[in-house]
Amino acid sequence: MSHYTVVLICTTELQEEKPQQKQTIFKPKDHDIHKHAEGRMTLNQTAKIINQAKKECRKTLLETEAKTICAEYDIPVNKFQLAKNEKEAATQADQIGYPIVLKIVSPDISHKSDAGGVLVNLKNQADVANGYKKIIENAKKYKADAKIVGVLVQEMAPQSTEVIVGAIKDPQFGQTVMFGLGGIFVELLKDVNFRVAPLTAEDAKEMITQLKAYPLLNGYRNTPPADIDALVTIICNVSRLVMEQPEIKELDLNPIMAYPKGAKTVDARIILE
Ligand code: ADP
Ligand code: MG
């Protein structure tokens, strides 16, 4: 929960349809989190976000929404804020710290890179202001009638081994969790492992260690070993998330940066039934 900042979203879609309504997404402040005796917290934002999306008949959650849910389930995500104009983006970038990543936030653009909607490694205010314009321009070129909520200003997570945690609601087996390494390992080599939820920590560990590419996570040449326990925790928290939120049809944390100490989700997608 430590990597979290306040974000406020007013979806253009919502404003058009119901001008009196605003959608607000924010980090649960400390006083919003009610710890139970065993240390679990009451979920404030997850149910609200899912209900709001359902009200809007929107199946794909925005990255901001998906990451807010992840954070509530103790899945580490990078710092982010939503900007509505270049000036706001530049101010937020100063607060977050450079380098910065900018991303399009639109209910009509799910694969952001395909739309020229991701800019990484922006080093100063001018880069961010120009980047903001560029991203909006690219989004309009990609889909002229795309509803644009804003641009997400993000902390740039240091490069590392990229892993993926996914979940899918299988018609036969129910909520099923997936783990693999990013890029060609998933797309080309299909080197992924699945387990039916709920998962134990042992299940999660097996999903990792039984990958063909596991040696890459266990320290290879110049790459230090990844923090396997941090990945186990993420997998278990995803299992808990999809078990507690049966309306989630698909979840995709792609990529998660796996570090020698800890891990960080830099992109999250959640699709509802
Ligand atoms: P897409 O919707 O295209 O999957 P992503 O958010 O995954 O968009 O961004 C594309 C790529 O940019 C990621 O795979 C990752 O390599 C890089 N990236 C995205 N966000 C960050 C970030 N906050 N820090 C570092 N790299 C990032
Ligand atoms: Mg992605």
pLDDT for residue 43: 66
- Least distant ligand from the CA of 161: 1
Which residue numbers in the chain have pLDDT < 50?
1-40
Q: Which tens digit of pLDDT belongs to each residue from 26-50?
A: 333 333 333 433 334 556 899 999 9
pLDDT for residue 59: 96
Nearest to 262 by CA among 89, 76, 87: 76
| Residue 266 in contact with ligand 1 by CB distance below 6 A | yes
| Location of structure tokens 């952001």 | 112
Q: Which tens digit of pLDDT belongs to each residue from 122-143?
A: 999 999 999 999 999 999 999 9
pTM over 0.95: no
The sign of the torsion formed by the CA atoms of 13, 114, 155, 218 equals positive
pLDDT for residue 11: 32
Instruction: Quote the CA–CA distance of 108 and 110 in Å, as a whole number.
Output: 6
* Phi, psi of 258, deg, nearest 5: -100, 120
In the structure, ligand 2 is a single-atom ion and the residues with CB under 5 Å from it are 254, 267
Nearest-atom number in ligand 1 for the CA of 103 is: 6
